[in-house]
Amino acid sequence: MNECNKVLGLSDPYASHNKKEETPDPSAIAATAMSSSLGFPFSHFPRFPHFSSSRASSSRSLATAAALAAASALGPSLVANSKFQPNISPLGWASLSLANASCSPVESRTGEVFPEDVDGGRRLLGVGVRRTNVLGLKSIDVYAFGVYADDSDVKKLNEKYGTATLSELKDKKEFIADALESDIRMTVRLQIVYGRLSIRSVRNAFAKSVGTRLQKFSASEPSDTDELLQKFVSLFRDDQKLPKGSVIELSREEGYVLRTRIDGEELGQIQSKLLCKSILDLYFGEDPLDKNAKQEIQLNLASRLKTT
């Protein structure tokens, strides 16, 4: 695991995958493909990624332990404030510095580096990865994601949770439910890591995952979910390309306005509290795409509330 991530509070949910995986028999894949359909559609049959079987050295382990000890001494503010960057020496000694940072937040499975802040000061709460199964044979990484929040808006939760402790908030379901409901400016940044992803596959995946959540939440917030969903997915046009390295940004702006961008290009804005909530729920709601990322986001959101 990247030591920087450990000190920054960015977890490594994929440590168990550090073993080399065997490539499925191509003939078996072809036979299965003839009789099966993809749950997450692709423009071409996917090429499976390879995973490294290398392990960290003992000195690297010492560096990690030292970094974590230093992080504990600084308390929850370190987890919440990613400006405290670690510098790990080759000898295993760790030091924390506000200047000359040697690393940035990284999603450990994909190696994707994320900016510490976006959209004029929204700071990173946590990172994760969206994976999908292909024919039940192999899981592939589709995109890495980071969730950001505006510190001044996070303070809106103080009225209800100002006296709660960090340990009380880090596992409290009601806390996350209120964060999803509140008019807190947030951005979800998706960094594409799969090189053969089509815009149609993204549109279809969102239609399924966001559509399910729109229906779930609309029981308490009556709305024409079909029309709302169509308005959102129609932003992803067939003429758009999503090569590896592309960035999709889904932002909840003030007044519950969903803003959608691809590589900085504005696709459109939709005013809907229900739609904003449904999209954010994908990443840190009750049934998130990456459970470890959700835990990290909740912990850092709670820490941010206690330190802002």
Q: What is the pLDDT of residue 136?
A: 76
In this prediction, residue 291 carries a pLDDT of 97
**Domain-embedded: residue 128:** yes
Task: State residue 20's pLDDT score.
Answer: 44
DSSP labels, 11-76: --TTGGG-SPPPPPPHHHHHHHHHH---SS--SSPPPPP--------HHHHHHHHHHHHHHHHH-H
The rounded distance, in Å, linking the Cα atoms of 116 and 125 is 9
- Residuewise pLDDT in 10s, the chain (308 residues): 555 554 455 544 444 444 444 445 544 444 444 333 333 444 443 433 333 333 333 443 444 444 444 444 434 433 434 333 333 333 232 222 233 344 689 999 999 999 999 998 999 999 999 999 877 778 999 999 999 999 999 999 999 999 999 999 999 999 999 999 999 999 999 999 999 999 999 999 999 999 999 999 998 766 789 999 999 999 999 999 999 999 999 999 999 999 999 999 999 999 999 999 999 999 999 999 999 999 999 999 999 998 86
Whole-number pLDDT of residue 219:
81
Residue 23 lies in a domain: no
Q: Is residue 168 part of a domain?
A: yes
54 in any annotated domain: no
Within a domain: residue 75?
no
CA distance 117 to 119: 7
Total of domains in the chain: 1
Query: Does residue 230 lie in a domain region?
Result: yes
* CATH number assigned to the domain comprising residue 167: 3.50.70.10
CA separation for the pair 207, 196 (Å, rounded): 20
Tell whether 62 is covered by a domain.
Answer: no
Q: Which two tokens stand for residue 226?
A: 């079909």
**Side-chain half-sphere of 15: how many Cα atoms within 13 Å?**
10
pLDDT value at position 74? 38
Per-residue exposure over 227-245, b if at least 16 CB sit within 10 Å of its own CB, e if not: ebbeebbebbeeebebeee
For residue 243, the model assigns a pLDDT of: 97
Q: Determine the pLDDT at residue 56.
A: 38
Report whether 51 contacts 20 (CB < 8 A). yes
pLDDT at 138: 86
Residue 292 neighbours by CB under 8 Å, 6+ apart? 11, 13, 128
Q: Do the Cβ atoms of 263 and 246 come closer than 8 Å? A: yes
In a domain, 48, yes or no: no
Q: Provide the domain limits for residue 177.
A: 104-307
33: how many CB neighbours lie within 10 A of its CB? Answer: 14
